[in-house]
Amino acid sequence: MVETPSRNLPFGSLVAAMVTPFTADGHVDFDATAALATKLVDDGCDGLVVSGTTGETSTLEDSEKEDLYRVVAETVGDRARVIAGTGTNHTSHSVEMARRAERAGAHAQLVVTPYYNKPTQSGVLAHFHAVAEASDLPIMIYDIPGRSAIPITTETMLRLADHPKIGALKDAKADFAAVTRVLAATDLDVYSGDDGLTLPWMAAGAVGVVSVSAHVATRAFRALVDAAAAEDFVEARRIHFELDPVIRAVMTHIPGAVSAKQILHLQGVLPNAVVRLPLVEPDRSELEPVLADLAEAGWDAAVLRRRQDVPA
């Protein structure tokens, strides 16, 4: 078990965006969920996002999400912050999910920019305020225009930061100038929403990362976050370079939820790599570049191939 330094961070510092394990017939596997949550926390995560994008939230029923919040909170809620993915593009639905998350024992919530609808910035502001007022759970805002179709402008973010229940930003916009303004002008805890930008974002003052790749390299990410927090940038840079091929393996070839489950299965952490449509498991040609990147990172690709029966 990795001992994480004591921090007064209501959302944690190394936050895994958890996959949702399924049984072979596609039902939520709550036993595997509890086991995965335990392993992630044992290995150094002090926060877990449950039912976020990587958790395939868009294909989960509301009752499944609430049960997932409860299972993870009951399993590791005394050792890590449980952050419920509650955001949708329907404000009243997001409000309902915020209340369900609070009822299930989550500590906080991750709320994404309303997607598909493409509201004005006034609509974005009103949406987040409505969700914030719906429960006592603090909010981490998730700014990811690649999925939501619109960014949260810096001016809107500065206004959102004034709300007492909005405490953090997961930035997946890759706009260093914008995140610098937020860091300089607000008290928000800022998190990198791109695994590969953890080091530069923390060098500028971010407190950590919400990560998909941390599923499969948790201890290395823990060491990176701790080194950056201690301003040991020589060590942080070394780990950053070490993690680069792992991050490429997880994040650049196939959807992150798919690749994370594949690698966790190869590692023997998950009993299978089942995903729900419209996601599908990769064919052998799609998995090959993932294995090649892991081999570049020093992983035993031959062993991984044997486990998956992937031809050399």
Name the residues annotated as catalytic: 142, 170
Task: Determine the 3-state secondary structure of 84 from DSSP.
Answer: strand
Q: DSSP secondary-structure letter at 22?
A: B
Q: Are 211 and 17 in contact (CB under 8 A)?
A: yes
Task: Determine the 3-state secondary structure of 293 from DSSP.
Answer: helix
Q: Give me the residue label for tokens 């709550």.
A: 30
Cβ partners under 8 Å of residue 33, min gap 6: 18, 20, 21, 68, 71, 72, 75
H-run or E-run covering 62: helix 62-76
Is the preceding omega at residue 151 within 30 degrees of 0, hence cis? no
Tell me, what amino acid is at 296?
A: E
Task: Determine the 3-state secondary structure of 133 from DSSP.
Answer: helix
Of the chain, the end-to-end C-alpha distance in Å amounts to 35
Cβ partners under 8 Å of residue 303, min gap 6: none
Task: Determine the 3-state secondary structure of 208 from DSSP.
Answer: strand
| Ramachandran sector of residue 150 (left: φ over 0; alpha: ψ -120 to 50; beta: rest) | beta
Q: Are 111 and 128 in contact (CB under 8 A)?
A: yes
Question: For residue 267, which phi and psi values (nearest 5 degrees)?
Answer: -75, -10
